[in-house]
């Protein structure tokens, strides 16, 4: 059992940390305030190899291990969770291809991402099918050598920027989850429309839109797996992406902890810095303890994937614990700052808003608990 990062991992961590510190942090407040897409930051991330981290080397990617990806994810979200979500969106959308596509599909659909900057979106959630994926209403009808897609997707990250979409649709509503099938929609075909960017509470540097598919034609050659395998593909994808989402929470919490430590040494009450008050010491001790615990849970869930083992239980442990932890740590950071913590001029109110989303997206904290219970009783 080894708890120390390798030299290569420390170098990767430092590169990601430098990018987050020198490139992301100085512009994070601007993109949060304006809610505009941080194209310049993502361009730099692509140039540094921090975009498309999961694409295997044989298809032109850097092929980072799952553990390596979590190390990078912590640093990115420490810089800005919204920017981190925008960066990681490509990996989420490409994971179904990486995990389940044929070699021909991988070469055709993954390699272009390594040759130039382009974006892809993962399209699973619908207005009536978030946690209840089996209630999916988007349909796919086979017509000759094409499928025809009709339906709507919501809360789609980078949907307005993407030129490739990994879309889940059902070939038979009556079959519930057994009818769900995975497709890759290339470009902006006729019938695909994009709504305006949602005005979100937090993670405002990540673009979130709704998509409408009206008789969108997709070649049979772009179906990933067989008909009816989409639900299993989606669940395997989320098992693989959950450690990254969990580590976003760790990055947010670490930022909140560091800001709280710095502020508590400068702010004075009753004739001394507030860090000398035991009440503040206990809050900061809890922040540090729980941030570290979440990091270790997340490392384990990523390590299991690298070992070729199933991680459904451990990744739900990590995502649920880390998301709830980050919300608590960020809220406590606002408390440490007192009235100033509630003002946008200070950094911690953004962290609190950013943390909230992680309790909701890619499986709510309540759904994670359902997964945990199901896994325990198997």
Which residues are tagged catalytic? Answer: 362
Cα–Cα distances (Å) from 180 to 136, 173, 210, 220, 308, in that order, read 8, 8, 20, 15, 25
Q: Say if strands 192-194 and 272-273 run parallel, antiparallel, or are unpaired.
A: unpaired
Determine contact, residues 234/168, Cβ cutoff 8 Å.
yes
CB 236 within 8 A of CB 99: yes
Q: How many CB atoms are closer than 10 A to CB 220?
A: 12
Owner of token pair 């009440």: 279
179 contacts: CB under 8 Å, gap ≥ 6: 170, 171, 172, 173, 227, 228
Using CA atoms, how far apart are residues 338 and 286, in angstroms rounded to an integer?
A: 18
Q: What token pair was written down for 64?
A: 């980072």
Closest CA to 153 of 208, 113, 224, 226: 208
Pairing outcome for strands 120-123 and 164-170? parallel
Distance (Å, rounded) from C-alpha 274 to C-alpha 265? Answer: 7
Listed in order, strand segments (DSSP E) in 83-207 are: 120-123, 139-143, 146-157, 164-170, 180-186, 192-194
* CA quadruple 157, 160, 165, 170: dihedral sign: positive
Residue 287: closest CA among 263, 312, 316: 263
Phi first, then psi: give them for residue 267, nearest 5 degrees.
-75, 130
CA distance 111 to 344: 42
């Amino acid at each position: 059992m080894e708890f120390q990062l390798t030299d290569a991992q420390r170098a990767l961590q430092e590169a990601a940390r430098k990018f987050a510190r020198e490139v992301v942090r100085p512009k994070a407040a601007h993109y949060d305030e304006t809610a505009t897409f941080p194209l310049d930051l993502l361009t730099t991330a692509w140039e540094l190899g921090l975009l498309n981290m999961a694409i295997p080397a044989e298809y032109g990617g850097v092929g980072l291990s799952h553990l390596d990806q979590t190390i990078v994810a912590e640093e990115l979200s420490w810089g800005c969770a919204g920017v981190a979500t925008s960066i990681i969106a490509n990996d989420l959308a490409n994971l179904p291809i990486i995990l389940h596509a044929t070699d021909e599909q991988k070469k055709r659909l993954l390699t272009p991402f390594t040759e130039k900057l382009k974006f892809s979106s993962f399209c699973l959630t619908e207005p009536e099918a978030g946690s209840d994926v089996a209630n999916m209403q988007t349909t796919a009808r086979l017509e000759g050598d094409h499928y025809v897609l009709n339906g709507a997707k919501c809360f789609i990250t980078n949907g307005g920027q993407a030129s490739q979409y990994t879309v889940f649709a059902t070939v038979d509503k009556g079959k519930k989850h057994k009818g769900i099938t995975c497709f890759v929609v290339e470009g902006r075909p006729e019938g695909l429309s994009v709504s305006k960017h949602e005005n979100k509470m937090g993670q405002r540097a990540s673009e979130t839109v709704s998509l409408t598919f009206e008789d969108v034609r997709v070649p049979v050659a772009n179906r990933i797996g067989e008909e009816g395998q989409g639900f299993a593909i989606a669940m395997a994808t989320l098992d693989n992406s959950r450690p990254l989402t969990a580590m976003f929470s760790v990055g947010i919490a670490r930022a909140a902890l560091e800001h709280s430590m710095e502020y508590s040494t400068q702010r004075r009450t009753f004739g001394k810095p507030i860090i000398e008050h035991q009440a503040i010491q206990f809050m900061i001790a809890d922040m540090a303890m729980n941030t570290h615990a979440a990091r270790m849970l997340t490392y384990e869930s990523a390590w299991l994937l690298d070992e070729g083992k199933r991680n459904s239980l451990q990744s739900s442990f990590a995502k649920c614990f880390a998301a709830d932890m980050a919300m608590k740590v960020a809220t406590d950071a606002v408390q440490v700052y007192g009235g100033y913590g509630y003002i946008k001029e200070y950094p911690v109110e953004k962290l609190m808003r950013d943390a909230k989303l992680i309790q909701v997206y890619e499986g709510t904290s309540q759904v994670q608990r359902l997964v945990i219970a199901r896994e325990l009783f198997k």
